[in-house]
Amino acid sequence: MTSVLELLGPHAYGLWKYGIGPTDDVETAITKLRATAPHLAKFLSEVAQRRL
C-alpha cells in the first residue's frame, strides 16, 4: 500500500499532530483520522482515489 509520504510528499509531516506518521500506509491513516479529524480522512481518501 502507498505510504502517506508517497501520496502527500513533505506535506505528510503535517499529520504528525493527528498521530499519523509519514511512513504509515494510507488506509491506516484514513482509519485513524476518521476518529479525530474526519475532514482530513475524507481529503486523504479523495486524494488517494484520484491518484490511483
State the pLDDT at residue 40: 97
Residues spanned by the domain of 19: 4-51
Secondary structure class of 3 (helix, strand, coil): strand
* pLDDT tens track, the chain, 52 positions: 899 999 999 999 999 999 999 999 999 999 999 999 999 999 999 999 998 6
The domain tally of the chain equals: 1
Maximum Cα interatomic distance, the chain, rounded to a whole number of Å: 26
